[in-house]
Amino acid sequence: MKLNQLIKGIDIINLSADNAGEVSTLCYAADKCENGSMFVAVRGLAHDGHDFIVDAVNRGARYIVHEKDIQIPSGVIAIKVNNSRRALGVLAKNYFGNPSARLCLVGVTGTNGKTTTTYILESILAQAGFKCGVLGTVNYRYNNKTYPAPNTTPESYEMQKILRTMADEGVTHVIAEVSSHAIDLKRVDDCDFDLGVFTNLTHEHLDYHLTMENYFQAKKRFFAEVLPQSKKAHPQKMIINGDDQWGKIILKDVALPTLTYGVEKNNAVKAASYELSLTGIKASIDLAGQTISIQTPLVGKFNIYNILAAAAAAKALQIPSAVIKAGIENLSYVPGRLERIDSCFGFTVLVDYAHKPDALNQVLQNLVEFKKKRIITVFGCGGNRDTGKRPLMGEAATFYSDLTIVTSDNPRLEDPLAIIAEIEAGIDHGKIQKIAPGNLKVKDDAHSYTVISERRKAIEMAISTARRGDIILIAGKGHEDYQILGTNKIPFDDRVVVEQTLKLKESSTVN
């Protein structure tokens, strides 16, 4: 690609030569460079790309984009910019030919519900006959192909690359989960979004953002800065949860055409009525004046909000009401989101990704409404992440559960028992009894807890202890098929462990 075309729109401080020349490839990882490459030296959270400039040049890079003062190697054209990360987004957009201009692009952001909302909207769009791609926590997928998701939202280079691939392969609509990290790190600034969806905001990622206000400002920036830059024109640009306190602030502060959703009456898209059970949801939904009745196996009041978010987005995209209804009802489950594992023993096993205090609170509040006997919860907290949520999750789990088994999640480089101790700090020991793992004969409404640090053993104990009518919640990892111990990622899937344990229980019962 011609250099003068590639650097169009970049905020350049100094260019060490003229802007003629041909760039073979664009890269921000030195080991990806080859002869004629442009290497963008980005300062990351763990590494600084400026430290790898020599390596990039040795591999053939001829153009270096940098923000720090550097010694320019011989034969290299240096391009100094104000912000290398910001430059990478513009360069990637130019390099891949601005693919979002050819796509209908919907961004979904918020603390909880992003993944489920994208699955529901994907189902609606497929029902409407569109070819849909999704970038999210579970995976990246399009045209019946799936790829692992290293990040919920890709780095700007990968974002533009995969959008280019999707557009070239006939995808018409893309739904992207947009994380607060991605917004803060400018990963999506150079995408032309058609719609932005806000689900809610609760305690999360404070290890990165430090305060809830900072966290909110990152989310708000998507609506206040990223969406207004888009060249797409729609009757509505924002789909906002009008019941959420933070959503109300966005509505007040950001002047873009908006469709609100929620349970409260003042929303344009709302649940006129609904019935909740352990087998699903029945609801009558008012789509800004048109009413549909839906029935879905998705469980819990929080999923009403996810359904409303997706329905409002589809309404803004002018999808017919009958198609919205069919799309909602065609989705049978979302991976790792209150995903039911069949049992022949009369108890219910649910695997959920809830790894934040509010998410765990909401899941358990809903399950309490459906319980016949006991709720048994297995959960832990990840290592090297926001430590402030650990006691809050301990408090939530033991308050709503008859038996809580505190275990490991992804401990990473932390001692699992140290993480568990921080979880235990939030438990009201005056009301919640700690019991030994070998003595789990807990009565209904007993509110006890135990510690089993090995996750597989914790799940096995929950299932061996369960009785007819019980609900078992395995929380924290959901769709993940690995566990991170130290720096090693080992195969581990809660759903697989549950199925294996149930089969063993069944065979031992038969024998």
Average pLDDT per block of 10 residues along the chain, 511 residues long? 96 90 96 97 92 96 95 90 97 98 97 96 98 97 95 96 98 97 95 97 82 94 95 86 98 96 96 96 97 97 97 97 98 96 94 95 96 96 94 97 97 97 97 88 80 98 95 97 96 98 88 60
The answer to whether 38 and 23 have CB atoms below 8 angstroms apart is yes
Nearest C-alpha neighbor of 182 from the set 226, 146, 148: 226
Residue 309, CA atoms < 13 Å, CB-side half-sphere: 34
pLDDT of residue 511: 60
Give the tens place of pLDDT for each residue, 366-383: 999 999 999 999 999 999
Domains of the chain, CATH where assigned: 3-87 (3.40.1390.10), 99-330 (3.40.1190.10), 339-510 (3.90.190.20)
pLDDT of residue 44: 87
pLDDT of residue 322: 98
399 — phi, psi (to 5°)? -65, -40
pLDDT of residue 210: 87
pTM (2 d.p.)? 0.93
Rounded Cα distance, 187 and 85, in Å = 8
Nearest C-alpha neighbor of 225 from the set 97, 109, 98: 109
pLDDT of residue 510: 65
CB contact set of 412 (below 8 Å; sequence gap of 6+): 382, 383, 384, 385, 484, 485, 486, 487
- Angle at the Cα of 144 (from 139 to 150), degrees rounded to 5? 15
Q: In whole angstroms, what separates CA 464 from the centre of its chain?
A: 32
Rounded Cα distance, 218 and 197, in Å = 14
355, two tokens: 């790894």
